[in-house]
Amino acid sequence: MKPRHSPLAFLRRVEGLPVIGVLVLLYGAFLITAPAVFTRPLIYMSFLQTVAPPLVLGLGLTLVITAGEIDLSFPAVVALSGFAFAWAFKNLNTPLAPWIGIVLALAAGALAGYINGLLVAKIHVPSIMATLATQFFWYGITILIANGLQVNIKEIEDTAVHTILTGRIFGVIPAQAVWGLALAILLWFILNRHTFGEAIMFIGDNPNVARVMGINVETTRIKLFTLMGVLAAFAGVLLTTEINVFYPTQGQGYMLPVMAAVFIGGTLISGGQGSIVGTFFGTYVIGSLQAGVVATGITSYWVQSVMGLIMAVAVSINVLIGEGRISTVSARIRHWAVPAHPQTGGEPPANNDASS
């Protein structure tokens, strides 16, 4: 049997090429329609600054979706960790307060992620339900312990943490953009060159195969959700540091744009294959739209329509090059909602076996 050759198959050779194309076209369109804004560096600096938190979230979510799972709780973890960070900075009377804040925030994220992992891997709650529940839970807890109030941390600007996380390198480049890039590179190597990443891909492809091949599916899932929690917490710290304030509903706007970015980037909703490069550029596409469309002078009501249009085009390209058959999509959504393998001692049920 010959490999299926689609006329657009060449797009597959370079990871993330379709979405890079979309990004180039988008910026081209912006340059033509709003040259005054897009020929100056300021707007790009602004993108680098605002895209960092959703980028970090998208990178984590790429791994989760590649493993065939979903995480809906990350916006709540952004809020929870943002509060942990702001609270520690405000209330601990030591020069180390911002550092303790970071540790506390990341620990909170790890805990939230670990709980997701336990629910999914040990109790076999479908991830869409488990993380929907924890999303509500952590927002509730955050609002409760924050008394529903925002926390101003203007003084963070005078700390080394602020400089390291969100300062301006050489006075221009936002540090958080470098953090995002560094994490993207690290996670690309984790996914594509590390045994953990390979385990993620095989689990997303077919957990039974993964198990038979000696991959510890449970442990990998728990580690994965914990990692997602830590990344979401880091995104929360970046956001809170950048805007100098924690507010109890922070992160809420990230849910759908981050998912859109991941799918635009070519990560398969059916699991088994994910593209860190695609998510990287996909996040910049989504993150540039708002400011870009406004700059062109048309009403900002257009933003959502344009976002939808771009998503439709990018995802269509991914399907056309044979990377995301539509039939697998409904199957995956079903898996998110229904446990695919009721456990009988870590093995699929006996009546599935083609023998005796």
Partner 1 sequence: MADAPVEQYAAQLVNIEKYFGLVCALKKVTLEIGRNEIVGLIGDNGAGKSTLVKILTGVFPPTSGELYVAGRQVDFRRYNVKQARAYGVETVYQDRSLGEKQVLWRNFFVGRQITRRFGFIDVKKEKQIASEIMLNTIGFRGKGITVDSRVSVLSGGERQGVSIGRAMHFKAELIILDEPTTALSLKEVRKVLDFVHRIKEGGKACIYISHDIQDVYEISDRFIIMDRAKIVASIAKEEISLKGLGEFLLEYAHGFKDKAES
Q: Does 350 bind partner 1 (CB under 8 A)?
A: yes
Do residues 62 and 204 lie in contact, with contact meaning Cβ atoms separated by under 8 Å? no
| Burial of residue 32 (number of CB atoms within 10 Å: 0-12, 13-18, 19+) | exposed
Q: Is 3 in the site for partner 1 (CB under 8 A)?
A: yes
225 contacts 119 by C-beta, under 8 angstroms: no
Residue placing its CB nearer to partner 1 in the complex, 327 or 356: 356
Residue ranges in 329-348 that form contacts with partner 1 under rule CB under 8 A = 345, 347-348
Contacts of 7 (CB under 8 A, 6+ apart): none
69 token code pair: 């799972």
* Residues 239/240/242/245 CA torsion (nearest 10 deg): 140
End-to-end CA gap in the chain: 31
Mode of pairing for the β-strands spanning 151-152 and 245-246: antiparallel
186: contact with partner 1 by CB under 8 A: no
Applying the rule CB under 8 A, the residues between 118 and 147 that interact with partner 1 are none
Measured CA angle at 63 (ends 326, 249), to 5 deg: 95
By CB under 8 A, name the one of 32, 178, 212, 331 that touches partner 1: 212
How far is Cα 60 from Cα 53, in angstroms, rounded to an integer? 11
9 counts as binding partner 1 under rule CB under 8 A: no
Identify which of residues 53 and 266 has a Cβ nearer to partner 1 in the complex.
Answer: 266
Number of residues that bind partner 1 (CB under 8 A): 33
Does 152 bind partner 1 (CB under 8 A)? Our answer is: no
Q: How far is the CB of 259 from partner 1 (least distance, A)?
A: 20
Applying CB under 8 A, the span of 75-83, 118-126, 206-214, 307-315 interacting with partner 1 comes to 206-214
Q: Which of 206, 249, 290, 296 binds partner 1 (CB under 8 A)?
A: 206
Write out the residues near partner 1 by the rule CB under 8 A.
1-4, 189, 193-196, 198, 201-202, 205-206, 208-215, 268, 272-273, 345, 347-348, 350, 353-356
